[in-house]
Amino acid sequence: MGPIGKIEVWLLLGAWVLAPAAGRPVPVPGAESTVARNALFAQSAAQLLRREFQSRDVSFLLLDARTGNLLASRWDDLERPIPLGSLIKPFIALAYGEEHQFRYPAHVCKGEAGGCWLPRGHGEVDIASAIGNSCNSYFRMLTASMTSADMVPAARGFGLDAPDPDLSGPDLIGVGNRWLISPEHMARAYLELNRRRDQPGAREAVAGMAQSAQRGTGLEVGRALKHSGALVKTGTAACTHHSGAPGDGFVVALVPAEQPEFLLMVRVHGVPGAKAAVTAGLMLRRIEE
Ligand SMILES: [Zn+2]
């Protein structure tokens, strides 16, 4: 065990010891083994990710999906708001739903003609498949008459940095790279989304993320996992590294899909989100093993 690993274990145990003071349930006898197991998992996952994914092009963040504890990270300026592209889409869906009794329109994506990234188009899409395929045409339609003000309640409810007051339409779905959000805030917003997965809006978003891993932009994550499914959302945004590339790819994955135990967020320099999913898949497979 390296010095870093030891510190992490103690941080985790410390968080557990302090938990009752924070109003959480007092651990029952026997829970120690669970805590010890979780600490071991966190320690080995952290070591493994640091050892095997050393490329400076890869940033990552691993959270315990149940407690929200930060298990491992290598991400400079985790707090600094940056463009995160389509990672915002599930929260757009929730904001729209709040204002429309959670009734979502159907839509036909004609590809380039409708401003979608997929030239041939996605054809008929509903809210879940629009999230699964990250269909820009669907979300352009959904946000056609939305402004920053429509997003404020959802942003507040999920702990996301609020958009500048002058954004509207495509700016809101990440197309113009104008809504800046801290990567850590975004990761935690996905944990909250998962906590609400039985509620209207969140239910559709989670269904879309399951589709993403099965046949959408997160397919490479789904393919990599042998023993469990995942909830995935990908995104592509303007690069914020010093050695600028056309864009950076982002992935948020919650595993296992039915009852997530951890959340992995990955950024890969210079590739689109669907390609970053290959890296996220490799990481998750190693953690799974
Ligand atoms: Zn589309």
Distance from the alpha carbon of residue 89 to the mean position of ligand 1, in angstroms: 13
Distance from the alpha carbon of residue 133 to the mean position of ligand 1, in angstroms: 7
Distance from the alpha carbon of residue 98 to the mean position of ligand 1, in angstroms: 23
CA count, 13 A, side-chain hemisphere, 142: 36
Strands 123-125 and 107-109: antiparallel
Distance from the alpha carbon of residue 221 to the mean position of ligand 1, in angstroms: 21
Alpha-carbon distance 280 to 278, whole Å? 6
* Residue carrying structure tokens 């809101």: 172
* CA angle 38–44–49, rounded 5-degree value: 125
* CA angle 126–129–133, rounded 5-degree value: 135
Alpha-carbon distance 232 to 109, whole Å? 21
How confident is the prediction along the chain (289 residues), in pLDDT tens digits per residue?
344 444 444 434 333 333 333 444 445 555 566 666 777 777 788 888 888 888 889 999 999 999 999 998 999 889 999 999 999 999 999 999 999 999 999 999 999 999 999 999 999 999 999 999 999 999 999 999 999 999 999 999 999 999 999 999 999 998 878 999 999 999 999 999 999 999 999 999 999 999 999 999 999 999 999 889 999 999 999 888 777 778 999 999 999 999 999 999 999 999 999 999 999 999 999 988 8
Please spell the DSSP secondary structure of 194-216, one letter per residue: HHTTTSTTHHHHHHHHHHHHHHS
Measure the N-to-C terminal CA separation of the chain; round to a whole number of Å: 19
Distance from the alpha carbon of residue 103 to the mean position of ligand 1, in angstroms: 20
Alpha-carbon distance 40 to 231, whole Å? 24
Residue-wise pLDDT tens digits, 36-61: 677 777 778 888 888 888 888 999 99
Longest dimension (CA), the chain: 61
Distance from the alpha carbon of residue 123 to the mean position of ligand 1, in angstroms: 7
- Give me the pLDDT at residue 186, please: 98
CB atoms within 10 A of CB 50: 16
Distance from the alpha carbon of residue 283 to the mean position of ligand 1, in angstroms: 28
Please spell the DSSP secondary structure of 216-278, one letter per residue: STTHHHHHH-SS---EEEEEEE---SSS--S-EEEEEEEESSSS--EEEEEEEETS-HHHHHH
Alpha-carbon distance 186 to 80, whole Å? 11
Answer for the pair 122, 109: CB distance below 8 angstroms, yes or no. yes
- Give me the pLDDT at residue 30, please: 54
Distance from the alpha carbon of residue 207 to the mean position of ligand 1, in angstroms: 17
Answer for the pair 62, 71: CB distance below 8 angstroms, yes or no. yes
Answer for the pair 263, 234: CB distance below 8 angstroms, yes or no. no
Cβ within 8 Å of residue 246, ≥6 positions away: 239, 270
Distance from the alpha carbon of residue 35 to the mean position of ligand 1, in angstroms: 44
Residue-wise pLDDT tens digits, 158-188: 999 999 999 999 999 988 789 999 999 999 9
Please spell the DSSP secondary structure of 34-92, one letter per residue: HHHHHHHHHHHHHHHHHHH---TTEEEEEEETTT--EEEEE-TTTTS-EE-GGGGHHHH
For residue 53, which amino acid is it? F
Answer for the pair 140, 124: CB distance below 8 angstroms, yes or no. no
* 102 Ramachandran zone, left/alpha/beta (phi>0; psi -120 to 50): left
